[in-house]
Amino acid sequence: MKIEQIYTGCLAQGAYYIVSEGEAAIVDPLREIAPYMARLKEDGVVLKYIFETHFHADFVSGHVDLAKETGAAIVYGPTAKPGFEAIVAEDNQVFTLGKVHIKVLHTPGHTMESSTFLLIDENGKDHCIFSGDTLFLGDVGRPDLAQKAANMTQEELAGLLYDSLYNKILPLANDIIVYPAHGAGSACGKNMMKETVDTLGHQKEINYALNQPDKASFIAAVTDGLTPPPAYFGANVAMNKMGYESIKEVIHHGTRALSVTEFEVAAEETEALIIDTRAAGVFAAGFIPQSINIGIDGDFAPWVGAMVIDVKQPLLIVADAGREEDVVIRLSRVGFDHVLGYLSGGFDAWKSAGKEIDTVNRIAPSTFEAQFEAANTLVIDVRKEGEYAAEHIENAYSKPLLYMNDWIKDIDPKQHFFLHCAGGYRSMIAASILKARGYHNFSEINGGFNAVANETNIPRTNFICQSKVLK
């Protein structure tokens, strides 16, 4: 028996590859299936099952393409209603894979069809669980995403999650390995650990949700502090449930090389959004007006999903040479399949053609320090609320990037302000959106709060002492 965790850091997502006696199974595969096909070929095994823990909201799974390519059966837990051929298993139903067995434990709460898959090894011993979004390390799945589909409140779903965890998962042996679908950074939970594998016994000791004195306390704990889910979640659920265009076709039309003229015409005629995926510092030095910077070397796909409301929005790509297909694949992971092509030759081709360009005023922390006056300097901090609460620049305003569409209207375009995040990635996203919407009177701080804290003597405080909201 072999179990391999295939972890994708930018999505904080874990897929699992299981092999026994020439047969294989994959749990919660990502959209692009080429890596899985390569593994199957290298190992000389046949894919028998594709297990889906639930209809995912934060990414598009590769289950449909994998099934078409291999003939493997897609397996969901009870109550699932997929729009394609699949096995909807019964609670406690057992599937045989070589010499091991995989038992379906119906664990509703995150979603109604959510299920945990218990792997029983060659000796008949419970070995591990693939817990999907039911149980994370340090957390449990948020119970607010399936309210509309289930016609239930988040409190009612949290109650179901309690029953699932306390009746189905906690009675299992302490030495069972927990393989969750996500780790720290995923929007599917709020308190996940950076580790991606643990024992159930350790989770029983340290996971706050598994240590509540009663059901009411559990419901209160897991529903407290939930932030609104990203806008693309609903569209991803629909694609996972009903099917989608083949990844091969998405890559084919998304990687069309467009000349400067073709790129410009496509942007005008289709009202496509230009996504510039270069590094923040490179983008700041020069970019196509109206383009939005979301760097490929970061949490690219989740931030595209968070900032671009409609997954059907036509997109045009500016990328470093050789990264174009990578960009298209990462966009497809979160359902953005309508990429019209990329700019051949990248930004350099645009600049060489004599086209208009724009820049962001990115300044060094020392420059910010020289201009900073606590009482008179407007500073906008786009980090998360928790980061701001821990420590922030004195008199800075907390305006998280995630809510930018709500607070941007409160900015006075005539008043200069300074903009920062933790390191510069998120603040450049914000800067590009500000520029695209006609706000130009600001300076973005290179290196963000981390650089300010380490390289300057600018006063800082914490949430207990001070908290400001931009009016």
Dump pLDDT digits (tens) for 146-158: 998 889 999 999 9
Per-residue pLDDT of 424-456, as tens digits, reads 999 999 999 999 999 999 999 999 999 999 999
Between 386 and 357, the more confident residue is: 357
Percent of the chain with pLDDT over 90: 92
What is each CA distance from 7 to 17, 148, 182, 452, 454, in whole angstroms? 11, 30, 9, 33, 32
Q: Does the pLDDT at position 325 exceed 70? A: yes
Cα(466)–Cα(471) distance, rounded to whole angstroms?
16
pTM over 0.85: yes
Per-residue confidence band for 462, with pLDDT thresholds at 50, 70 and 90: confident
Cα(128)–Cα(147) distance, rounded to whole angstroms?
29
Task: State the CB neighbour count (10 A cutoff) for residue 242.
Answer: 13
Considering the domain delimited by 2-234, tell me its CATH architecture.
4-Layer Sandwich (3.60)
- Which pairing describes strands 460-461 and 392-393: parallel, antiparallel, or unpaired? antiparallel
User: Strand runs (DSSP E) across 159-272, as ranges?
Assistant: 177-180, 198-199, 257-258
Percent of the chain with pLDDT over 70: 98
Please give the average per-residue pLDDT across 332-350, as a whole number: 97
Please give the average per-residue pLDDT across 209-214, as a whole number: 96
DSSP 459: -
The pLDDT value recorded for residue 463 is 59
Residues in the chain: 471
Q: Does the pLDDT at position 292 exceed 70? A: yes
The pLDDT value recorded for residue 185 is 85
Cα(258)–Cα(252) distance, rounded to whole angstroms?
13
Q: Does the pLDDT at position 126 exceed 90? A: yes
Per-residue confidence band for 42, with pLDDT thresholds at 50, 70 and 90: very high
Q: Does the pLDDT at position 44 exceed 70? A: yes
Q: Does the pLDDT at position 19 exceed 50? A: yes
Note the CATH number of domain 245-352: 3.40.250.10
Please give the average per-residue pLDDT across 191-217, as a whole number: 96
DSSP code per residue over 55-73: --SSS-BSHHHHHHHH-PE
Which 3 state secondary structure label does DSSP give 43? helix
- Calculate the average pLDDT of the chain: 95
362-461 and 2-234 share a CATH fold: no
Structure tokens at 286: 């020069």
Q: Does the pLDDT at position 28 exceed 70? A: yes
Sequence spans of domains, the chain: 2-234, 245-352, 362-461
Q: Does the pLDDT at position 43 exceed 50? A: yes
The pLDDT value recorded for residue 468 is 47
Q: Does the pLDDT at position 224 exceed 80? A: yes
CATH of the structural domain 362-461, one choice from 3.40.50.620, 3.40.250.10, 3.20.20.80, 3.40.190.10: 3.40.250.10
